[in-house]
Structure 1
Amino acid sequence: MMPNKNFEPRDQRIDDALDTSGVRHRATLKQEWPLLLLLLFVWGALWQDFSLANMIFGAVIALVIVNLFPLPPVVLSGRINLWYCVKLFIWFLGQVVAASVHVAWLAMVRGKNTRSAIIAVPLRTGSDLIVMTVGHVLTLIPGSFVIDVDRSSSTLYLHYIDIQSPEDVETARAAIRDIERRLIMAIGSRDEYEAIKSECGPDFAARKG
């Protein structure tokens, strides 16, 4: 397991977390466009209507939302590796299938004797985008569900099924940090990518998948 340490300072994020004035730091339109596109897609999916008129109306709604309820900006890394993205997607599909079979086995064989736990997993990344995506990936894989996030320390709190011992907790944490590693390789910043290579050392080539 790679040591738990953050890759880069998060001064602005810590300021946001400690700010009790109620004033949020506004993002620029350049920083908000990924959120606007996501809201626009969700709007079209909810109405099952991607017509031009509905998309224009959805864009107006999205602009109103981001201005009335401003969130701290999610800063993009400026780096994307399509090969690692494809490998991440294939790996994710495999994990969904394997986890579904595992949860079904637990339900049929162990039943009510199955134990679970709430565990805290400090991530190494300083990126809100990576933290958010790790949480979404975990929630989509059967057997785990994120219940809280400490943004200032990049710590995820989640419900995890089939935890029988402290060793199982560490195994779960290692699996979650492996998701973080895969995401950094796919969409993380250049600094975080280089940090992953440095921490993995000679094993980096073997762990590229």
Structure 2
Amino acid sequence: MTDGQTRVERRASLREQLPLLVVLVALWMLLWGSVSWLNLVTGIVLALVVTRVFYLPPVELSGRFNVLWFVWYLARFLVELVGASFQIALKAFDLKGVRGNAVIGVNLRTRSDFILTLTAINLSLIPGSLVVETDRERSVLYLHVFNTKSAADADAMHGRALEIEERLVRIFGSKVDVERICS
């Protein structure tokens, strides 16, 4: 019982971090490339040490998961991924080269750290944009956007980021976020 925490509070804290611990153990086993008892045990020990030594802000989950919106999200993600990959490949062979890039700020409408993180990951995975800075306090993502020739291109990327946020809110967001953002 350190820092005034009771046993019940420590157990609750461990229970709340269980999804993180499972992900850390899975990543550990993927890094080693094999499933074995030794990898499992060392992964669990390492995950417990990491979560106890390094402070991680608690991730508040809404408890919602919409399967239909998730399937729609995956389909759209794959279409955007393939389309953006072809656009980047074509630009690589364009003799004119890239005419302009931009850094834009996108004010997300949700205050959920989880949705903010998922939106940032999604935007970074699709070729053509990269999250260069995050303002967690104000829920702002700063994106480096490839091949931005005009304000209209920057506005289109801004709109795309907000669409991705909306899709993620429909899957994982709280009822309050869904009502506020998706109506």
The answer to whether TM tops 0.5 is yes
Give the CA deviation at 1:162: 1.4
Please show how residues 18-167 of structure 1 align to structure 2 within 5 Å. 28-109=13-94, 112-167=97-152
**For the residues of structure 2 that align with 1:50 and 1:159, how far apart are their CA atoms?**
38
Deviation at 1:36, TM superposition (A): 1.2
Q: Is 1:144–1:161's contact at 8 Å kept on the other side of the alignment?
A: yes
Distance 1:97 1:44 in 2: 29
* Higher alpha-carbon Rg: 2
Aligned in 2, Cα 1:129/1:110: closer, same or farther, shift over 3 Å?
Answer: farther
CA distance in 2, matches of 1:197, 1:164: 30
Instruction: Describe the superposition over 1:35-75 as per-residue Cα deviations: whole angstroms up to 9, x where unpaired.
Output: 21221111111111222321121011011001110111011
Question: What letter matches 2:163 in structure 1?
Answer: D
Counterpart amino acid of 1:73? P
Give the distance between the partners of 2:117 and 2:68, measured in 1 at CA.
21
Length-normalised TM-score, structure 1: 0.78
Moved over 3 A (4+): 110-114
Q: Which secondary structure does the structure 2 equivalent of 1:145 belong to?
A: strand
Unaligned 5+ runs, structure 2: 1-9
Separation in structure 2 between the aligned mates of residue 114 and residue 45 of structure 1, nearest angstrom: 40
Secondary structure, counterpart of 1:72 in structure 2 = coil
Q: Which deviations, in whole Å up to 9, do the C-alpha atoms of 1:113-134 show, x marking residues without a partner?
A: 3321111111011110000000
Match of 1:176 in 2: 161
Distance in 2 separating the partners of 1:57 and 1:167: 51
Residue 194 of structure 1 is matched in structure 2 by: 179
C-alpha deviation, 1:195, in angstroms = 1.6
CA RMSD in angstroms, aligned pairs only: 1.6
Conservation of the 8 A alpha-carbon contact between 1:106 and 1:114: no
Amino acid at match of 1:180: E
Q: Does the C-alpha gap of structure 1 residues 166 and 36 become closer, same or farther in structure 2, counting only changes over 3 Å?
A: same
- Aligned partner letter, 2:42: F
Amino acid of the structure 1 residue aligned with 2:130 = F
Mapped to 2, the partners of 1:119 and 1:195 lie a distance apart of 24
Amino acid at match of 1:187: F
CA contact (8 A) 2:100 2:148 kept: yes
Structure 1, unaligned stretches of length 5 or more? 1-25, 199-209
> What is the Cα deviation at residue 110 of structure 1?
5.0
Greater RCO, CA 8 A, separation 6+: 1
